[in-house]
Structure 1
Amino acid sequence: MSELFDAVDALVSSRSTLPPPAERKRLRQAHGLTLDEVAAALQVRRATVSGWEAGKTEPRPPERDAYARLLKQLAQLYPANVPVPSGDTAVPGTPAVPAVSAPSVAEPAKARTEPADRIPEPVSEDTALRPAAVPYPVTTTRPTSRRPPARKTVPVGSPAGGVDTRFENGPLAVVDVDADGQVRAYCVGGLVLGVPAKSIAALVEWTLSEGRLGQPKLSGPGKDGDPLLVLTEAALEHYGLPVTLTKEERLAGRIPESHKVIKQLTRANWQLTKRGFGPWARIYRPAQGSERACVQLCIPSWDALDTRHWANTGQLPPADLARLLGTYAARVMTPRGSTAVTGLELMTALHPPTRASEPDETGKRHSEHNPGSLGKEPVDCAPCEAPDGHPLLADLPRFHHRTPAEVLVEEAYDWARPLTDAECLRPHLVGIDVNMAFAAGANGLTVGLGAPTHVKNPVFDAKLPGSWLVDLSHVDLSRVKVAKDKWAELDGSLLPSPFTPKGERPAGPAWYATPTVAYAVELGYDVTPIEAYVRHDNGRYLDGWYNRLRDAYLATMADLGVGADLAPEEFLAAMDGYRQRDPQLAVVVSAIKATVKGGIGKLRERPRGEGWKPGQPWRALARPTWRPDIRAAVISRTRINMHRKIVKHAAFTGQYPVAILSDCAVYASDGPSPLDFLPYRDGKPLPGGFKLGVNPGLVKHEGTQSVLWGEGVRERFNAPELNLARYIKDGTVTDVDSGE
């Protein structure tokens, strides 16, 4: 009988009485609700609610019943023909608008003429209390003049702490269309601009002439950041673009050249880069002197914002999306593509390949190499540094498997071992994770800037970056030097080798990056390289990159309540649930981390499609930033940093890790907290060992599971050396360890 009742209820719900479309809109606006708020409550798209209010579509169950319920309650609060409060009288459900959109936003210049298309944005109480993303001036008053202002030109060297009025509206804007069909550009700091453009070509023109969007250069010889426009689904529909890509378009990464929007751009003399009109499209005209005319588009519904790093950012309301991306842009840089692409672009922005020379005898300046940069032209890697399929290896037999003596393999750890009997008697497995491990590995690292020099029988030099063919199989981890003239006796069988990603002891000569060989010397062992590819032109190319990403990470974590100078107990407490304090800022943290890892990975980008065949060059090889040797050096140093801490910890406590995955190490422990096995004395950690804290290179609590869980997982998959570090965070194991 209950099934019949359910069927009747469903039938009634399918015909729930709804007011006319115009009344639906009136009721929503009377209560001060936005389309985004209603859409979020009903779990539908913003455009869907807009369609209901316009009468273009009608809701269907189960949303129809919930929508009818909402409108019925609003109708009771705001009967028809009853005037809605206005002026200084607050509308129920709508908080007062503060004088500025965020507490730390700079005041606009008093003499500045406000543009006629600035629109004050209602700010929710929650948003108003959040930290400001960037110090750009905003206004909350509607100007009376409808005449657009003249664009101001400001010298590049604007005063420190001042605002570059060329970019006074911030680095980016989220372009959306409201229920009335009006195009709005949501900028950082709560600013909303009216957009008159009727086409994508006109939108680009407006952005460059009146939008005042962009970002000042990050380095003296560099270039200003191009403005970024993020197009919502409503904006895509408005400008004649598909809301989603077809399967063929996703595979191609672009819409076809025959699309009407591309033809419109061509007629307006705009060009697209080689990657075409895809999720991250760049629309430009050739530069006139030093003036650039370029706008970047980001299209979330085309998967521009990878959910692995950006979570559900693409689903946010326009103002929140502008705030989140604006925070990232201010602290890292305006996104130029994926987090990996942005990580690589940040390296170039901080170390531009060229600079202006000193004036010659005629007073003219010329472009010259910028010292400390990678230059404008790519350099060949060493054969041992080349990945499989590289043109340098074209003469190798087709199915030849290169040995360690032929190829440099510097990768992150993926190592595990069975638990000892003593470890099985402990109740807990505790994982600790190194913060920003690859960033810490890049900090202060000397890397090659130019091409390698091949040397036979070289004398090892720890200060010289390069790749070395050397036999390290004689290094015995049962006896290692842990300080000057101080040796430690260890159980080497419980430690991974520092020289291989899988922790296996090398069997003979192999290629290693400089930090790996230097660590063998540090452990107290002699090394005799057979040959090497070294780089005499070198420098600390990644220092500025590390500093900016470190500062971005620490500033965002501080906004989330995790400071840099907390005591161990306070740090663990602050980290507990920090993501829930502001989910949007937590996404910024994830994106910053992905920028680090992705940027390092891009240094050895492999071919993707492109009709590539082994032995042929691929597109990435034409970049000066295609540098597998730099990637290898960073990963080498990151792995060595982890091993050094493990050895110090083992020598002092007698405790050894049971699993390591990249920057996460798992220990058997008598208690569930890292403080139950990390040695602290009077609040101070073991010198050279693991230290709890938020700074890059310090560690946080990754997760705790029981020893019984670990042994059960390994038994279930019949894998005694399953890497438990992969699953320690939440204990969920979905498939057997693939090792990938």
Structure 2
Amino acid sequence: MTRTYASSRHSLRDFNVVRDEHEASVFARVDALLESLQTPLPPPEERAALRLRAHLTRAQLADTLQCQAQDVEAWETGASEPQGIQRAGYARLLAGLRVLDASPRSAAAVEEPHTPPLPRQTEPHPRPASSTAKPHHRGTRRKAVYPRGPLAVVDQTSQALTAYLADQSSTEVPADHLVDLLQWALEAGIGREALNPNDRDGDPLLVLTPAASHFLGLPPDLHDRARLRLPDSHPQIANLRAAGFKLTRRGFGPWARAYRPVTDGKRASVQLAMTGWGALSDRDGWNLPPLAPAPLARLLGTYADRVLTPRGSTAVCGQELMSALRPPTRARWSETDRRRVSSSNPGALWKPIEPAPPEAHDAHPLAQGRCPQDAMDEEAWDWSRPPTDTENAEFAHVVGIDINLAFIAAASSASVGLNSPPRHLHTPTFDRRIPGTWLCDLSHITLDPRLPSPFTSTGQPPTGPAWYATPTLDYAVKDLGATVKPIEAYLRDDHGPYLTPWYERLRDAYLATMAEAGIHPDIRQDEFLRAMNTLPEADPALLGLLAAIKATGKGGVGKLREGPRETTAPYQRWPALDSPTWRPDIRAAVISRARVNTHRKMIKTAERTGRYPLAVLSDCVLYPAHTPSALDVVPSAPDGRGIRGMFCLGVNPGFAKEEGAQTLSWFRQQHSQGLNPARYIKNS
């Protein structure tokens, strides 16, 4: 024992002495690890900026560095630092991004001035073509197979068709008929790589202007306004059939897909957007400014790079993005068949699930004969109250603060039900880990009357038992210290964070687009307000892109509980019910999380500042203020940034921006008329 101890002490004293090649190898690795621990890194805000300017997602970095996306997020926010080999790899990656970032900046400094269709106010280098901004898949990276990007805007110029591409190039299209145009699209190298290794590549999208539609012999408008589709007897559809093309069940409408059957494992499918028939219109949720074909192609190409290739309304795109990031099926090797076969994809939604009776839409067959109090009411707030005498005497103004991407942010890391039907229980014990719908009486919980109740959409306290999603009960127990005794529940044992990649994709798209307007994360609150005041002066195309990204998220959440069309009889099934992504329980969980997140910040604000909200509408909260500025309402930390746990002014999802300001007398007038002032403060 003494000899062994002495030997150990001798090894420690002679740390740098090696005795054989094996020991030398071990010591070399240890030295490399120790050296990596001292590797310098740029500040957190620069790390995020370098990644965003390279059009990379946190998931791509995590895949490369063999860590989790949450780790990269923590490194970029300064919450934690990488260690060991990962630190060395992260430093090397950031150094490479700096070099790539510096090259186009240097080139831009000497380049002749020009007028880009979509200006890069903080990013002088041009947006890469879609083919160079690919999602990183595990294993060997595939070569770019779509050199012309994801889409083309097709217009008539002179006596021919011209395709304007996302990289701002254009080319004449050798097509006189619709069939020729589709064939050209299939052979032109247009499309987009899949957003997930288990998904298929994105079809080429052709956006046809009214002039192009007329050139191809298509009518200027649709006479079938009820179904919004070209009659099946139209000659153009007959020509498509003769050429071997088929249409989806929705037919040839504003958004159409023409395809040929899969041959040798290869798809032959083209998406069409007919702008003359209403595609990309306000009705579709796009709200784009009038744009010529070239800048329209650039805007849509940027949207395709950051979100996905447009496939319909922004709501449809939001729904499609969920499935693209978590496809319902994946390929697996079958020993029985000795080949790869399609199987269900864990963590995805791969089959339609009937809702629990309280979750069903009012028009759903399960809602027939249901009492109103038996329906779950997990909806956004619509609440206001009159100012108190003290507030009338102390404050002269009211300021609205709007939460950025509130419902998209609430989807992050939310555990939701997947593919098991709800399990019905009586008198269950509440378990915050299980997504579900719970019948519970929360009327015994008392809160300050100057706060809206977190348990109802009206903000009024509940008067008896009601159905709640898991996040609402969790908030009552964990944050408010209440005792809950569920009476009944519908629980989902198969669950997971289905919407997390969807949130991350939209978050990164939003932040990258805001960065183009010169608004970055982690700036001071006063700097953020000044930057937001100049945002309306930005290029209309940039503002249109921002609006489209936000509408994609909001519409995607709405699609989870899509109602029937007007022509559907009451309590009859409608097509959306047969979709795996028709999930009112998931929508309820997201809205519940958004509402309690806001309520938590209201309580923190009241504890620190003594102020209480006067009105709430969805994600907009009105507070009394001494001056007409959000800085009067939202306190700042010593560094000028927001205070954790409270409302913070900034660009990040879940942070807030100023929605508008008015006098308190204006608020009183609105409230006295039975109106919610939060609805009108932005445009007053």
TM-score bracket relative to the smaller structure:
0.7 to 0.9
Counterpart in the other structure of 2:417: 448
Separation of aligned partners in 1, 2:642 and 2:517: 25
Q: What are the Cα deviations for residues 460-502 of structure 1, in whole angstroms up to 9, with x where unaligned?
A: 001100100000001111xxxxxxxxxxxxxx12111000011
Separation of aligned partners in 2, 1:257 and 1:417: 55
1:524 to 477, 481, 484: 481
Q: Does 1:476 align with 2:416?
A: no
Separation of aligned partners in 2, 1:283 and 1:601: 27
Q: Secondary structure at the match of 1:223?
A: coil
Counterpart in the other structure of 1:664: 620
2:610 to 635, 648, 654: 654
Counterpart in the other structure of 2:155: 176
Separation of aligned partners in 1, 2:138 and 2:387: 61
Query: How many percent of aligned residue pairs carry the same amino acid?
Result: 50
Counterpart in the other structure of 1:593: 550
2:218 to 236, 241, 251: 241
Counterpart in the other structure of 1:725: 678
Q: Secondary structure at the match of 1:648?
A: helix
Counterpart in the other structure of 2:585: 629
- CA change 1:159–1:128 in 2 (3 A) is farther
Separation of aligned partners in 1, 2:495 and 2:547: 31
Separation of aligned partners in 1, 2:208 and 2:485: 58
Q: Does 1:411 align with 2:388?
A: no
Separation of aligned partners in 2, 1:369 and 1:607: 28
Q: What are the Cα deviations for residues 90-143 of structure 1, in whole angstroms up to 9, with x where unaligned?
A: xxxxxxxxxxxxx969x9xxxxxxxxxxxxxx99524385463443479xxxxx
Counterpart in the other structure of 1:185: 163
Separation of aligned partners in 1, 2:355 and 2:665: 48
2:286 to 310, 316, 336: 310
Contact 1:187 1:323 in 2 (8 A): yes
Counterpart in the other structure of 1:572: 529
Q: Does 1:290 align with 2:265?
A: yes
TM-score normalised by L of structure 1: 0.73
Separation of aligned partners in 2, 1:350 and 1:573: 36
Contact 1:134 1:326 in 2 (8 A): no
Kindly provide the amino acid, as one letter, of the partner of residue 302 in structure 1: W
2:343 to 337, 362, 368: 368
Q: Secondary structure at the match of 2:258?
A: strand
Cα deviation, residue 708, structure 1: 2.4
* Higher helix residue share: 2
Number of matched pairs: 565
- CA change 1:176–1:163 in 2 (3 A) is farther
Contact 2:614 2:624 in 1 (8 A): yes
Q: What are the Cα deviations for residues 263-307 of structure 1, in whole angstroms up to 9, with x where unaligned?
A: 211221211111111110111122235321111111122121232
Separation of aligned partners in 2, 1:354 and 1:126: 41
Q: Secondary structure at the match of 1:430?
A: strand
Kindly provide the amino acid, as one letter, of the partner of residue 398 in structure 2: L
1:615 to 568, 571, 576: 571
- CA change 1:689–1:292 in 2 (3 A) is same
Counterpart in the other structure of 1:681: 637
Kindly provide the amino acid, as one letter, of the partner of residue 678 in structure 2: A
Q: Does 1:229 align with 2:233?
A: no
- CA change 1:515–1:137 in 2 (3 A) is closer
Contact 2:131 2:192 in 1 (8 A): no
Greater length-normalized contact order (CA 8 Å, ≥ 6 residues apart) = 2
Q: What are the Cα deviations for residues 564-618 of structure 1, in whole angstroms up to 9, with x where unaligned?
A: 1211111111111213222211111111111111001101111114x42223211
Separation of aligned partners in 1, 2:253 and 2:496: 36
Counterpart in the other structure of 1:80: none
- CA change 1:644–1:129 in 2 (3 A) is closer
1:347 to 322, 341, 359: 322
Q: What are the Cα deviations for residues 621-655 of structure 1, in whole angstroms up to 9, with x where unaligned?
A: 11111111001100111111111111111122110
Q: Secondary structure at the match of 2:170?
A: strand
Between 581-590 and 339-348, the greater mean CA deviation after superposition? 581-590
Cα deviation, residue 713, structure 1: 3.5
Counterpart in the other structure of 1:437: 406
Separation of aligned partners in 2, 1:452 and 1:713: 44
- CA change 1:432–1:606 in 2 (3 A) is same
Structure 2: runs of 5 or more not aligned: 1-102
Cα deviation, residue 311, structure 1: 2.5
Kindly provide the amino acid, as one letter, of the partner of residue 444 in structure 2: H
Separation of aligned partners in 2, 1:565 and 1:688: 15
2:117 to 119, 127, 142: 127
Kindly provide the amino acid, as one letter, of the partner of residue 129 in structure 2: P
Contact 2:177 2:216 in 1 (8 A): yes
| Superposition map of 1:452-531 within 5 A | 452-477=422-447, 492-522=448-478, 523-531=480-488
Q: What are the Cα deviations for residues 192-235 of structure 1, in whole angstroms up to 9, with x where unaligned?
A: 121011111111111112x2111100111111011100000110
Counterpart in the other structure of 1:48: none
Counterpart in the other structure of 1:709: 666
Contact 1:428 1:704 in 2 (8 A): yes
Counterpart in the other structure of 1:383: 357
Separation of aligned partners in 1, 2:504 and 2:116: 31
Contact 1:171 1:215 in 2 (8 A): yes
Counterpart in the other structure of 2:77: none
- CA change 1:156–1:417 in 2 (3 A) is closer
Cα deviation, residue 666, structure 1: 0.5
State the Cα RMSD in Å.
2.2
- CA change 1:390–1:675 in 2 (3 A) is same
1:420 to 388, 411, 431: 388
Counterpart in the other structure of 2:146: 167
1:202 to 180, 183, 202: 180
Q: Secondary structure at the match of 1:621?
A: helix
Separation of aligned partners in 1, 2:367 and 2:667: 43
Structure having the higher Rg: 1
| Superposition map of 1:69-80 within 5 A | none
Separation of aligned partners in 1, 2:597 and 2:486: 22
1:213 to 174, 183, 190: 190
Separation of aligned partners in 1, 2:436 and 2:625: 40
Between 129-138 and 694-703, the greater mean CA deviation after superposition? 129-138
Structure 1: runs of 5 or more not aligned: 1-102, 108-121, 139-154, 478-491, 732-740
Q: What are the Cα deviations for residues 50-69 of structure 1, in whole angstroms up to 9, with x where unaligned?
A: xxxxxxxxxxxxxxxxxxxx
- CA change 1:235–1:430 in 2 (3 A) is same
Separation of aligned partners in 2, 1:525 and 1:714: 32
Separation of aligned partners in 1, 2:561 and 2:193: 29
Kindly provide the amino acid, as one letter, of the partner of residue 198 in structure 1: D
Counterpart in the other structure of 2:600: 644
Counterpart in the other structure of 2:90: none
Separation of aligned partners in 2, 1:136 and 1:697: 29
Separation of aligned partners in 2, 1:725 and 1:366: 53
TM-score normalised by L of structure 2: 0.79
| Superposition map of 1:27-66 within 5 A | none
Separation of aligned partners in 2, 1:230 and 1:357: 36
- CA change 1:278–1:531 in 2 (3 A) is same
Separation of aligned partners in 1, 2:242 and 2:325: 36
Contact 1:439 1:546 in 2 (8 A): yes
Separation of aligned partners in 2, 1:289 and 1:690: 55
